[in-house]
Amino acid sequence: MAQPQFILDRRGMLRAGAAGVAGFTLPAGSVSRGADLLSSMERAEDVRASGVTPRARSVLMVLLSGGPAQLDTFDPKPEAPAEIRGEFSAIQSAISGISVCEHLPQLAARMNQWAIVRSMAHREHNHLLATHVALTGRATPVPRGGSDLDRVESRNDFPNLAAALSYVQPRRDGIPTGVSLPNYLIEGPLTWPGQHAGFLGPRHDPWQINHDPNDSGFRVESLSVPEDTSDRRILSRRDLLNRLNGDRAVFAGDGRSGAFAEQQDVAFSLLTSARVAEAFRIDREQSATRDRYGRNKFGQSLLLSRRLIEAGVPVVQAAMGIVQTWDTHVDNWGRLKRQLLPWLDQGLAALIDDLSAAGRLDETLVVVMGEFGRTPRISTLPGQTVPGRDHWAHVYSMLFSGAGVRGGQVIGESDSIAAYPRTRAWSPADVGTTILHALGVSQKSSVTDPLGRPAQLLNGEIILPLYRGGSV
């Protein structure tokens, strides 16, 4: 009876640590043994309850920022009126009864590897609010008296999935829990919420890359040291820094100092992690491999993501282009046809082929998502002459592959014009829960917000049809 009491006490201390980002931290190892045992017990209980065994060692979230049009990608409606169906035709995939846009031929040929969810839905039609929902599974907090139109990133935000994983499954091997690339979602004064650890603090932030991997001079400088600097010298400098900082207890009441010291620890770990440093040497890939992914920012970001997964990074987020790249209010079909869909099609095909050939697809969950979809009815903005589609969160589509997902199926159905779900709707909370469960996070895992309120990390439902087979 003593051991379970010990475990519960340690778990309570973990939660207390989460409540105060500026508060105390426990010595490494003081929690891990009890928490690891509790975690294994909870995972076994989760498997019995859901019937789905977590298989993912890594998750790649392919973010199509701006919101791709469901009708012009994964949910075409060839029988709909012209003002709804748009300019593209549908093509049959390798799986009978499943069609996709004509500009996704490689995806269509590999449909046995993919599951399409066509009944995603939520309530936010604003890019910033919807991005927070998509990346955290939580509604975006809006300050009292504030406008949701200028709601930007804040340390009051709920942590994103990589940050949540960093909190419940901390690493001590120099490999970051999360890496986001190739750029931060920011435009002018607006910074998209949901990109970091929010109230959990900088210690759990995903590592952010702000370089184009397609650039011939691509190099992550923060992982580089002078050639004459050995690991021993780095460790010596770390010891000196620790002595200058003094005993950590001095900073117990200073959250900013404590957070800065934690960031220093992460930086030193990264500098001495050969696997992570090697992963960023994308120039060492064969030219033919780089060509297969596409010599563009998105294709090379997917290639870099694959390398990071091979290095052991649990959560990688790759955005296609810059913020709002898929925000096609104007020239929807031209932009999709000339660039967006060919790049997406080529990059995903190369990624899935490589993961499958290396035997990594069974342990890598790939999720392709936007923050919402686009309006069924075509429209032309005032002052514009080329039509497009506006924001639409009432129904949209997502792709899933790997880590036990049954490919070659469609889950959910939209109505005849792809405006609303005809079958059960799935939410970003369900997606987040599915991802965290796949990574082995217990359904009982929780964090405590700055107001002292506990919140379960897995706040939705596992999308079970992904594993058991949905309906076409």
**8 Å CB contact between 388 and 328:** yes
Q: Please, what is the Cα angle at 190 between 185 and 191, to 5 degrees?
A: 40
Question: Residue 251: is it exposed, middle or buried by C-beta count within 10 angstroms (0-12/13-18/19+)?
Answer: middle
Specify if 429 maps to a domain: yes
Which residues constitute the domain of residue 243?
221-279
Whether residues 69 and 174 fall in one domain? yes
- Closest C-alpha to 74, from 350, 301, 368: 368
pLDDT at 441 (0 to 100):
96
DSSP string of 366-391, one letter each residue: EEEE-S-EE-SS-B--TT--S-B--E
As a whole number of angstroms, the distance between CA 168 and CA 134 comes to 20
Whether residues 109 and 254 fall in one domain? no
Whether residues 337 and 453 fall in one domain? yes
pLDDT at 32 (0 to 100):
40
Specify if 373 maps to a domain: yes
- Residue range 105-143, pLDDT digits in tens: 999 999 999 999 999 999 999 999 999 999 999 988 776
Using DSSP's 3-state secondary structure scheme, residue 311 falls into coil
Specify if 6 maps to a domain: no
- 317 φ, ψ (degrees, to nearest 5): -115, 120
Specify if 34 maps to a domain: no
Contacts of 231 (CB under 8 A, 6+ apart): 272
Whether residues 305 and 426 fall in one domain? yes
Whether residues 355 and 462 fall in one domain? yes
Whether residues 212 and 225 fall in one domain? no
The full length of the chain comes to 472
As a whole number of angstroms, the distance between CA 363 and CA 401 comes to 10
- Residue range 395-449, pLDDT digits in tens: 999 999 999 999 999 999 999 999 999 999 999 999 999 999 999 999 999 999 8
What is the amino acid identity at position 322?
A: I
Q: Please, what is the Cα angle at 209 between 203 and 212, to 5 degrees?
A: 175
Compute the 3-state secondary structure of the chain and give helix, strand, coil in percent, each to the nearest 5.
Answer: 40, 15, 45
Strands (DSSP E) found in 14-101: 58-63, 90-92, 99-101
Contacts of 289 (CB under 8 A, 6+ apart): 303, 350, 354
As a whole number of angstroms, the distance between CA 354 and CA 127 comes to 32
Query: What total number of domains does the chain contain?
Result: 2
pLDDT at 225 (0 to 100):
43
As a whole number of angstroms, the distance between CA 68 and CA 70 comes to 6
- 327 φ, ψ (degrees, to nearest 5): -85, 80
Whether residues 106 and 254 fall in one domain? no
- Closest C-alpha to 394, from 416, 374, 412, 424: 374
Whether residues 229 and 152 fall in one domain? no
Tell me the CATH number at 436: 3.40.720.10
Other Cβ atoms closer than 10 A to 337:
17
- Peptide bond preceding 182: is omega within 30 degrees of 0, i.e. cis? yes
Whether residues 387 and 443 fall in one domain? yes
Token output for 313: 């990074």
**8 Å CB contact between 336 and 31:** no
Whether residues 302 and 238 fall in one domain? no
Segments in the chain below pLDDT 70? 1-49, 143-150, 221-273, 469-472
Whether residues 236 and 211 fall in one domain? no
First-to-last CA distance in the chain? 51
- Per DSSP, helices labelled H in 20-66 are 32-50
Whether residues 73 and 97 fall in one domain? yes
Helix (H) or strand (E) holding 391: strand 391-392
